């Protein structure tokens, strides 16, 4: 999951304005899910994804091709499921007499749902694999285009499917690695190709605003000269047309390749260039870019030991806003998914021996959000 540091050649100074360093965030278990194939269960070791917005958790089980929406108490509110891969649904349909129910089960022909994002109005977006007959070869990117994005209203009704051109786009995406919904309900689709990551930014009407091949050429060239650069990950601002690009720099040292530094570049899509960059403090393992809250609160995490991560939040003034342990509280776990939810709350799916827990850490309290 994380790259190990080989040799640290540069000692990076810490940034000013650090706070919260002596406060350990408390993990809160919101609810648990048993293993199984019923409505509100997860298959063991499922390829699962979670997105949280305003206390509602959206969980994908790729193995069973279903999407489940829960409230913060673990009540199943919405189920979308592939009828061919799931048994007869019993929990959602089980109702006493004609009593009204706030649960809904909707058959939907998911093939292999892989990513999910949720807007503030609870509209949601799911990346999925296309049937073989609908895939295309791309000469531009030298890969197969195999993916689409299903766009749903808050009740789970399909609005449209997206292609590269937007609503009813005829060209599929390459493999989708991440989805993000911004505060103004824009959708950012991250894809991977042999030539680099390609980012598509759509407005709230699913009109394509920006597309960007994110390779090393978009980074500040004075920083990339003489280094081997791994463009690791990208996250979007929730309020502005900005991308935050994490890159890891290495330098040849004889027959070895040594780690030099990691940095964040802020790329302005309207200007088409990087407008500032900052180095990331060195840790025993490289920091992972978790996401961006508001305009420029950059969340990074790094494993510290078997049951603790370190959370680092950098701001647009190149300060450390938060530097604190993120405790899981148990060593015998498997982390299925870690994500940044609404209001700067970190959420996760954690797999135990006989169940999966949906948990969160209120990191927003360290930022003193009003």
Closest by Cα among 283, 279, 362 to 326 = 362
Q: How many domains does the chain have?
A: 1
What is the model's pLDDT at position 6? 36
Asked, for residue 69, whether it belongs to a domain, the answer is yes
Q: Which range of residues forms the domain containing residue 189?
A: 27-365
Asked, for residue 15, whether it belongs to a domain, the answer is no
Separation of first and last alpha carbons in the chain = 34
Tell whether the model's pLDDT for residue 1 goes beyond 90: no
Give residues with Cβ within 8 angstroms of 89, minimum separation 6: 38, 39, 79, 81, 105
Asked, for residue 211, whether it belongs to a domain, the answer is yes
Say which DSSP state 218 is in.
G
Closest by Cα among 104, 204, 92 to 151 = 204
Mean pLDDT of the chain: 86
* Cα–Cα distance measured from residue 52 to residue 3, given in angstroms and rounded to the nearest whole number: 27
* Cα–Cα distance measured from residue 167 to residue 30, given in angstroms and rounded to the nearest whole number: 36
88-137 pLDDT, tens digit per residue, is 655 555 444 454 456 789 999 999 999 999 999 999 999 999 999 999 99
Asked, for residue 34, whether it belongs to a domain, the answer is yes
How far lies 135's CA from each of 7, 63, 129, 202, in Å? 43, 21, 9, 22
Structure tokens of 58? 């959206």
We report the CATH number of the domain holding residue 252 as 2.120.10.30
Asked, for residue 68, whether it belongs to a domain, the answer is yes
* Cα–Cα distance measured from residue 306 to residue 107, given in angstroms and rounded to the nearest whole number: 40
212-223 pLDDT, tens digit per residue, is 999 988 998 777
For 179, the 3-state DSSP assignment is strand
135: alpha, beta or left, given left = phi > 0 and alpha = psi -120 to 50? beta
Q: Regarding predicted confidence, which is higher, 12 or 153? A: 153
Query: Which uninterrupted H or E stretch holds 49?
Result: strand 48-53
Most confident of 72-81, 220-229, 343-352: 72-81
Closest by Cα among 107, 111, 108, 125 to 51 = 125
What is the model's pLDDT at position 101? 56
Asked, for residue 18, whether it belongs to a domain, the answer is no
Mean of pLDDT values over 236-243:
95
Asked, for residue 168, whether it belongs to a domain, the answer is yes
**Phi, psi dihedral angles at 102 (to 5 degrees):** -95, 15
Asked, for residue 357, whether it belongs to a domain, the answer is yes
């Amino acid at each position: 999951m994380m790259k190990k540091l080989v040799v640290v050649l540069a000692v990076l100074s810490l940034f000013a304005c650090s706070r919260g360093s002596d406060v350990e965030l408390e993990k809160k278990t919101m609810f648990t899910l048993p293993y199984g194939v019923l409505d509100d269960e997860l298959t063991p070791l499922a390829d699962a994804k979670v997105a949280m917005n305003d206390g509602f958790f959206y969980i994908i089980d790729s193995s069973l091709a279903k999407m489940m929406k829960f409230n913060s108490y673990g009540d199943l509110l919405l189920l979308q499921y592939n009828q061919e891969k799931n048994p007869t649904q019993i929990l959602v349909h089980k109702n006493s007499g004609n009593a009204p129910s706030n649960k809904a089960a909707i058959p939907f022909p998911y093939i292999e749902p892989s990513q999910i994002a949720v807007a503030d109005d609870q509209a949601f977006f799911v990346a999925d694999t296309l049937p073989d007959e609908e895939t295309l070869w791309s000469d531009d990117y030298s890969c197969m285009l195999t993916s689409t994005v299903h766009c749903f209203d808050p009740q789970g009704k399909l609005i449209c499917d997206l292609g590269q051109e937007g609503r009813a786009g005829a060209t599929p995406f390459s493999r989708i690695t991440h989805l993000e919904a911004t505060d103004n309900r824009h959708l950012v689709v991250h894809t991977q190709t042999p030539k680099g990551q390609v980012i598509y930014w759509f407005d709230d009407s699913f009109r394509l605003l920006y597309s960007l091949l994110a390779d090393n050429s978009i980074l500040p060239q004075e920083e990339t000269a003489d280094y081997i650069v791994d463009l690791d990950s990208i996250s979007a601002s929730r309020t502005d047309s900005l991308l935050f690009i994490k890159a890891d720099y290495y330098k040849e040292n004889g027959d070895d390749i040594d780690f030099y530094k990691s940095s964040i570049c802020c790329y302005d899509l309207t200007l088409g260039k990087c407008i500032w960059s900052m180095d990331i403090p060195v840790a025993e393992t490289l920091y992972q870019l978790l996401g961006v809250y508001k305009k420029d609160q950059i969340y990074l995490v790094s494993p510290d030991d078997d049951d603790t991560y370190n959370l680092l939040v950098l701001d647009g003034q190149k300060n450390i806003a938060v530097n604190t342990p993120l405790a899981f509280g148990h060593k015998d776990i498997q982390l299925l998914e870690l994500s940044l939810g609404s209001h700067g709350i970190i959420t996760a799916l954690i797999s135990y021996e006989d169940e999966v827990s949906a948990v969160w850490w209120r990191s927003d309290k360290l930022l003193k959000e009003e």
